[in-house]
Amino acid sequence: MNTRFLSLTALLALTLCFSMNLKPSFAAEELVVADFDTGDKPNNLGGDFGGWDKDPNDETQGTKMSFEADDAMGDPAGYAIRLDYDVDSPNPAYNGFWIKMNGEDATLYNTLNFYIKGHAEAGFTKRVKLELKDMTNKPSPYIVGGITEQWQKISIPFEKFRRISDWSALNELILVFDDINSNPKKGTILIDQITLSKE
Ligand SMILES: [Ca+2]
Ligand SMILES: [Ca+2]
């Protein structure tokens, strides 16, 4: 047999194994739900997102969503989501941000990650509430504290979302500003790079 042919075949086989191995395992470790880097909808899963408001007729409260050129990963062309919230109202007030997970199967993962920071000049709450929902739409709450004016990665093990019963189809993630957890009652929070990972 031609040794040259043999070593070429071996090299090809090796290359094939390497490229086949690397990609699927890498993809299984982290799924980007939203990096917001197009500066537009939808998110990386094809899902919609936006600001919400308990009572759109109450003009004294609400969350206004916009894209801010301040990427958490440091990409000069990237964007984050900016949330200008106001829960200072004579009425009970809560509002925030919602993002669709589009029925994503999360069984390969065990951790929800995202980046968050407060806006130094506008002021910001140090605490926000998250709610994760599967297709049954029961909110599974989790409080995030210790928000600062620097980007900070928050990683939450799935076990903390105790009311999720079916991880094979997630509906949405919601961020809540309310008149109990939000202090000051008016300010600006930035959020970016929402992912699911296997730790
Ligand atoms: Ca981004
Ligand atoms: Ca207000």
Q: What is the pLDDT of residues 116-157, one digit of tens each?
A: 999 999 999 999 999 999 999 999 999 999 999 999 999 999
Residue 6 tokens, joined = 């043999």
Distances (CA, A) of 160 to 30, 34, 156, 166, 167: 19, 21, 7, 14, 13
CA of 71 to the centre of ligand 1 (A): 5
Q: Which residues have CB atoms below 5 A from the ion given as ligand 1? A: 35-37, 71, 78, 192
Name the pairing type of β-strands 62-68 and 80-86: antiparallel
Q: Which residue type occupies 138?
A: K
CA of 70 to the centre of ligand 1 (A): 8
48: nearest Cα among 117, 89, 102: 102
Q: Which residue type occupies 166?
A: D
pLDDT at 173 over 50: yes
Can you tell me the mean pLDDT for 35-49? 98
Burial class (CB in 10 A: 0-12, 13-18, 19+), 193: buried
Calculated CA dihedral for residues 83, 60, 138, 97, nearest 10 degrees = -10
Relative to the alpha carbon of 72, which ligand is closest?
1
Domains located in the chain, CATH noted: 31-197 (2.60.120.430)
Distances (CA, A) of 86 to 92, 130, 184, 192: 12, 17, 9, 20
Q: Can you give the pTM of this predicted structure?
A: 0.86
